[in-house]
Structure 1
Amino acid sequence: MVQTKIGVIGGSGLYEMPGLQNAKWGTMDSPWGAPSDQLLSGVMDGVPMVFLPRHGRGHVHSPSSVPYRANIDVLKRLGVTDVISVSACGSFHEEMAPGDFVIVDQFIDRTFAREKSFFGTGCVAHVSVAHPVCARLSAACATAAEAAGITVHRGGTYLAMEGPQFSTRSESVMYRNVWQADVIGMTNMPEAKLAREAELCYASVAMITDYDSWHPDHGSVDLAEIIRILTGNAQKGQTLVGSLPDLLGVQRSTCPDGCDHALEGAILTAPDKRDPILTSKLDAVAGRVLG
């Protein structure tokens, strides 16, 4: 059994976490640079929690400039066991309406301007992301959403685009009709991949704000309307997250999906060929297997 420690990465519109006891903002550095913002640490229902605004308070980071590696690294260094990603998204389905939540279980990664791995030349590793989220943690998020009266869809494919522009109509139609994605966003990749490399359980809560640009009755994405819906979604997201400590418990056993042992056998570079500078940066992410 290990002590549960929940990390929440808050997306657009979600810049704070009400209800934390002994809450305190603190600065933390990473070998991968500074994270998006200070981290808010506290306790809720006896469970330690850490909150990190993905875009920084005041929304200073674009999707492409978010320091994803630093964000995941500092959460790992703080002892986080379970990461909840909360983010805004567009919907490709009429029945997945603005204001609904989707508990994502698959991704299509179309990003191209971001560092996507902690590993590289001098220490090569390949982890499986066939099932990129933790089923146990995702189920807890779905249960929390339902208990809060949120319309939630269990399962869905998230198309991660580079941004910061929204999709063209042709792209939107292709993602929906050909690729059969369910929602579209700009931030869950490479975040989910990095969480897996760091052996962290990860769940994605996608909060729908719009129908992207495929819908013939809704036209192009309206930023003012998105911001209006974001406000309501943020309140729902805070309610969902506030239910998780009770659902997850103060202690938990080893992840049944193996998220916390994802690096077993993944590092291919021979010990005597590993770059000491890179391996020193991997002390938190991969220290368990690098020894």
Structure 2
Amino acid sequence: MTAKPLTNHLQDLERAIAQLSVKEKLWLLERIARQLRESDETEFPETSQPEPEIQRPAVYAHRGASKEARENTIAAFERAIELGAEGIELDVRCTIDRVAVVYHDAEIQERAIEQLTWAEVQSLDAEIPTLTQAVQYCKDRILLDVEIKESGYEAEVLEALKPLTIDRFVITSFKLDALDRVKQLNSQIKVGFLIDVESIAFLPNARTLNQRLKAIGVDFFALDWLILNHPAIGQLSPQVFWIWTVNQPVITQKLIDEANKPDNLRQIAALITDYPDRALALRKGTVE
């Protein structure tokens, strides 16, 4: 049997593609694009050993143990580790000389971080760590939830996270384009879309949003606890949620109970709190 020339195969492929619907063509293009991204991904160390299973839901300290030490500082991270939190949520911005720094607000002393050099940031506030410093301090000690505050410096964030294995951190953001860029750099990184009381009013319809989320590869949603039962949230996919900022004991207990219900339609995977010790004590009493 004589093999067909390559040109004939290409012509057959062109005819097959021409018969596809627009929706099918878009799906095919997305698959091809994802394969290309995966072939040139930012690499992280391989996981050497499986992590011990964390009880549900995981407890993350909001900006570190921010009620006992200054938020987003090494001192707050150390205290969160001492209290037994499984993870830390922290905020990342970027200086004009492309240094990723751990800080929540857009300004320091009324000066925009994005317009400052790292040296200037240090001169204004010596307690602000770089993301690299935070990663080195927390490595092998606690998990990280890294919130990217603006888009445009995703590569710098991933560069700082390179000492970690890919199962030791997640990326969250209110900016879908930032999450999309992270997935382009490494599709294996888990990313979460942040939604709060204000932003939920501006979300597109569920069908349009879910299509975008699926195309990006969003793994979970990080929600303000006040909107967990909003009708729009029930239409999102996947139904996997990290809930913030959960400080009230009654709300904390309700979420712990839901996280441990068998066959629950939605998954409460993590709680982010200013009081990790209280959440851990409640969870311990529930699970045991």
TM over 0.5: no
- Comparing both structures, which one devotes a greater share of its residues to strand? 1
TM-score normalized by the length of structure 1: 0.29
Report which of the two structures shows the higher radius of gyration computed on alpha carbons: 2
